[in-house]
Chain A
Amino acid sequence: MSVEIDTRPIWVILLLKASRPAFYLAVVLIFWGLIAMPTPEGLSIGGQRAIAIFAVCLILWVSNIVPLAITSLFAIVLVPVLGVLPKKETYALFGNEAVFFILGAFILAGAVMHSGISNRVALNIMKRFGGSPRTLVISIFLLSAFLSFFMSEHAVAAMLFPIVLEIAKGLGLKPGKSNYGKLLFFALAWGCVIGGVATFLGGARVPLAVGMLKETTGDSIGFLEYSVAVFPLVVILLAAGYLILTKFFPIDIEGVGSARAVLERRIKGLGKFSINEYATGTVLLFTIIGWIAFGEGLGLATVALSSVVVLFVFRLVKWKDIEEYVNWGIILMYGGAIVLGAALDKSGAASWLVKSSVGDWAGSPWMAFALFSFLSILLTAAMSNAAVIAVLLPVSLGLASKLSMDPVVLTYAIAVPAGLDFMFPMGTPAIAIAASSNYINVKESAKGGFIMFVTAWAVFNLVAAWWWPLLGMGYSR
């Protein structure tokens, strides 16, 4: 049990507690108000109800007053109950490929972590390249990014955190005071954030967005296609991130001898390379090749789940070993978000919403792209990045047809910035983990993160304007 005692005056606590039921009551009233009001012109009854469900979910997702997954389940319940979609169709949407891809990715990441290969690779890279204070920071930064290409950035941060903490302690860096200490933990957090947007595997946000895109428009984005599109963004952000960090926190130590001792001790503790590590590494390698080569034809989920089956057939992992890595909450949340997205689209609510809200501001495709990418990167600073996609994507897809825009491009406009929170721990577990070291605080994170926030948004828009046309992608269809 981990408890905390609220020692504020009892009337303050009572007031705050009372605000919860009041909040729920307000949500119910808003919901009822939206359902009961006369249906606006151009909107069907189903669309009106879909908007009411969307509004409730939006409030609950943003406020996080109930777990995200439970809000999603609520959406799944309300959609058929209010007759927006038939129940058979609603539950079938949960069987979306994206949901199973995420499940497969969680299991694969769990197997990789459990085998110890990721830990070994991390330690060896740090030892090989971390000979000086500068190269040690760079190796942690790039390593965090690199590993986040293949597994959830959250898992990478959790895996590397104890190593970086031990290095910081081994070097005698004072929490909250040492520049180099701050540098190490920011390198870890920002590396994970930047690396997390490079592939489908980073934060599992992109599969959700692609799943919603597919349900709504039938279009899709390939594994390699996505990574190629965001590649320059990742490279530029890594360079910018390093420059900003070293500008904010100039290196204040001479050598890293004791850090090397820590790394050597840890590597020794791992023992020799086991068959399990080799085999799991090989399965992961083939899975990535499979995603690139057959992702389009077979489907990403099929490739991921095939690899999972291989892992279990060869007894490389047991169910209980990977159970803790499978985040069922996220899987439920994604399923619900896809249902809600489809409900908004099929009922015509999404396009109606766009017409009557952002439609007038986002006059041109370029403007729409800039606006949605800005909203996405802004909201992700305050809320879970999966929730940002669930909220913004259905609306933006509605706009695509109005402006004759390519919905794929708008999917990028939401999915990529949704992963780029450099400022606050609330939206990004990697930053929360780094901040728990006490070497960095939220204020410093917000300061440096704000510059990265502006840089990331600007670079992303520039990449869309200059790089994507070279790949044959454009704002318009």
Chain B
Amino acid sequence: MKKKNYLHNPATLKIDLMLRGTRIDDPVVKAWACGSSGVDIMLPEKTLVNIPCSEEFTRNSPYLIKKKGSGYLITDGASEVEVSLVERPAFYNRRTASGVPLSSIAVVHGSYTVITPSQRCDFFNRSIECKYCAGNFNVTGRDGVVYSVEEVLEAVEAVLKEKASEIIYFSIGFSDSDDGGIEFLKPYILAVKKNFNCLVAVEALPPKKNRWIDETYALGADSVLYNLEIFDKELFEIICPGRATLIGHKRYLEALEHAAKVFPSGTVASHLIVGLEPPGSTCMGIDYLTGIGVVPILPIYRPSANRALRIEPLDTEIILPVYKHLYKSIKKNRINVNWVRDISMVTTPVELKAIVNGPRQRSIVDGFYKSRLGKKTAWGLATLRRKLRVIDREDDSE
């Protein structure tokens, strides 16, 4: 079968690059990618992608990043496309007052900067960690690092000053508590909201009671993610034993459904990893999640040397229909697509438009959302909405 050429459409190219990775022959790009899981490249039409380049599977990639004049190009041997290397944030070279490198606290992924204040996940202490996690994340059990609120604030200040991204994304692993980790994140969220006018997203595990979801919103989180990762129940139990036994597939769906009622449209999301379950099952997950008002985010599984969980065969031709299905489901259920955008690690619904309708023209709405005024408006509206919706019962005393 003739190999398809994806270079002409940045949205499909992004998917193909994330799936196959790239080879690099330029020392500058190599240096960029050193120590990271991938390299951040800006494709045409401002499509941001983090391309795997260090894993084993990338050695066979048809793609190569090459220097051309003062810029770069990506070629598959037959044709090529001009790209640019995303500048590494300057703050990556700085340290906090306590001596912690800012790059180990905050990692920029396009519009999101991910901060994991505690790199602990209790699943590791019980040997029930998610099977894909150990190879991919810098998370450990009991002895994981915990950053102080002050250290995190220094990192956030650096991110925002440099305009590296506009959304601070807190993530936390599993801790055996009813609140899903939100009590732990509380001082961080409150401090960020108190000191900066930025949007905050929280990626946590579903709490046991819905009141913690309400509290997450009331604290100042503008978006929440409870990542189900795998929709198929049996595969979920095998691949995510900790999540399955201590939280449960059903609780994930319940928590997401409640969150979608509390948070604004398009701000509640859940990852479904492409490549760990059959595409049909991912599509069923997409239907279910969009039906309850949740945005499914479809990261592509990056196999590591010792964790080959990927279903085979897996290529772009197989997974493109899944992405198209995602776009149509989101549109059908009228979920706002402007929140989850411009992320290097995943293809976002806004980018999917180009797969369904062909390469896109930037719309005025798009431009507005990316402008300073648009960002300020988003922050203002999110703050106003919270003010209107949150009722503090302790205030209701006589």
Residues of A within 8 A of B (CB): 1-7, 10, 13-14, 17, 64, 67-69, 329, 384
- Complex interface: chain A residues within 8 A of B394 (CB): 1-2
Q: Which of B's residues lie within 8 Å of A, judged by CB?
A: 211, 214-215, 217-218, 261-262, 385, 388-394, 397-398
Asked whether, in the complex, the Cβ of B388 is within 8 Å of the Cβ of A17, the reply is yes
Residue of A nearest to B217 (CB): A5
Asked if B389 contacts A6 (CB within 8 A), the reply is yes
User: Whole-angstrom distance from the CB of A383 to the nearest CB of chain B?
Assistant: 11
CB distance from A158 to the nearest CB of B (A): 15
Known: A2-B393, A3-B215, A7-B261. A14 touches B398 (CB 8 A): no
**B389–A13 touching, CB < 8 Å:** yes
Contacts A1-B215, A1-B218 given; indicate if A7 touches B398 (C-beta within 8 A). no
Q: How far is the CB of A326 from chain B (nearest CB, A)?
A: 15
Q: Can you list 9 A-B contacts with CB-CB less than 8 angstroms, sorted by A residue number?
A: A1-B394, A2-B392, A2-B393, A3-B215, A3-B393, A4-B214, A6-B388, A67-B398, A69-B398
List the B side residues contacting A2 at CB < 8 Å: 392-394
Known: A3-B392, A5-B262, A10-B385. A67 touches B397 (CB 8 A): yes
> Smallest distance from the beta carbon of A257 to chain B beta carbons, Å?
34
Q: Is the CB of B393 within 8 A of A4?
A: yes
Question: Complex formed: what's the CA distance from A69 to B218 in Å?
Answer: 28
The count of A-to-B residue pairs whose CB atoms sit within 8 angstroms is: 49
A3 touches B388 (CB 8 A): no
Compute how far the CA of A477 lies from the CA of B358 in the bound complex, rounded to whole angstroms. Answer: 95
Residues on A with beta carbons closer than 8 Å to the beta carbon of B389: 5-7, 10, 13
Contact of A6 with B385 in the complex, beta carbons under 8 Å: no
Contact status B398-A3, CB under 8 Å: no
Chain A residues with Cβ below 8 Å from B392 are 1-3
By a CB distance below 8 angstroms, the chain A residues around B211 are: 3
Contacts of A68 in B (CB 8 A): 398
| Contact across chains for A5 and B391 when beta carbons are under 8 A apart | yes
Q: How far is the CB of A37 from chain B (nearest CB, A)?
A: 33
Q: Which residues of A contact B215 (CB under 8 A)?
A: 1, 3
Nearest Cβ on chain A to B263's Cβ, whole angstroms: 9
Interface centre among A3, A7, A13 (most CB of B within 10 A): A3
Taking CB as reference atom, which chain A residue is nearest B388? A13
Say whether B214 contacts A3, CB under 8 Å. yes
Nearest neighbor of A13 in chain B, beta-carbon distance: B388
Residues of chain A lying within 8 A (CB to CB) of residue B391: 3-6
Residues of B within 8 A of A69 (CB): 398
Closest 3 A-B residue pairs measured CB to CB? A2-B393, A3-B218, A4-B391
Once the chains are docked, how many angstroms separate the CA of A69 from the CA of B215?
A: 30
Residues of chain B contacted by A10 (CB below 8 angstroms)? 385, 388-389
Contact of B262 among A7, A14, A64, A384 (CB under 8 A): A7
Q: Once bound together, how far apart are the Cα atoms of A67 and B396, in whole Å? A: 9
A3 touches B390 (CB 8 A): yes
Decide: A5 near B388, CB < 8 A? Known: A329-B398, A384-B398.
Answer: no
- Nearest Cβ on chain B to A385's Cβ, whole angstroms: 12
Q: How far is the CB of B193 from chain A (nearest CB, A)?
A: 14
Chain B residues lying within 8 Å of A3, measured Cβ to Cβ, are: 211, 214-215, 218, 390-393
A5 and B398 form a contact (CB under 8 A): no
Residue of A whose beta carbon sits closest to that of B263: A5
CA distance A157 to B391 in the complex (A): 27
Q: List B contacts of A5 (CB < 8 A).
A: 214, 217-218, 261-262, 389-391
- Residues from chain B with Cβ under 8 Å of A329 in the complex: 397-398
Taken together as a complex, chains A and B put the C-alpha atoms of A419 and B392 apart, in Å, by 29
Residue of B whose beta carbon sits closest to that of A7: B261
Residues of B within 8 A of A64 (CB): 398
Closest B residue to A66 using CB positions: B398
Give A17 to B390 CA distance when docked, in angstroms: 12
Bound-complex Cα distance A68 to B262 (A):
32
Residue of A nearest to B386 (CB): A5
**Chain A nearest CB, measured from B145 CB (Å):** 28
Report Cα–Cα, A68/B385, bound state, in Å: 29
Which A residue's beta carbon lies closest to that of B385?
A10
B264 to chain A: closest residue by CB? A10
Q: Tell me, rounded to whole Å, the shortest Cβ–Cβ distance linking A332 to chain B.
A: 11
Q: A1-B218, A2-B392, A5-B389 are in contact. List 13 more A-B contacts (CB 8 A).
A: A1-B392, A3-B211, A3-B218, A3-B392, A5-B217, A5-B218, A5-B261, A10-B389, A64-B398, A68-B398, A69-B398, A329-B397, A384-B398
**Minimum Cβ distance to chain A for residue B191 (Å):** 16
The complex places the Cα of A3 from the Cα of B385 at a distance, in Å, of 15
A2, A67, A69: most-surrounded residue (chain B CB, <10 A): A2
Which has the most chain A C-beta neighbours within 10 Å: B211, B215, B391, B398? B398
Q: What is the distance, in angstroms, from B207's C-beta to the closest C-beta of chain A? A: 14
A329 to chain B, nearest CB (A): 6
Q: How far is the CA of A276 from the CA of B311 in the complex (A)?
A: 73
How far, in whole Å, are A14 and B384 apart by their CA atoms in the complex? 11
Assembled-state Cα–Cα distance A4/B398 (Å) = 18
- Contact between chains at B388 and A14 (CB < 8 Å): yes
Residues of B within 8 A of A7 (CB): 261-262, 389
Q: How far is the CA of A13 from the CA of B217 in the complex (A)?
A: 17
A157 to chain B, nearest CB (A): 16
With CB as the reference atom, state the residue of chain A lying closest to B213: A5
- A10 and B390 alpha carbons, distance in the complex (Å): 12
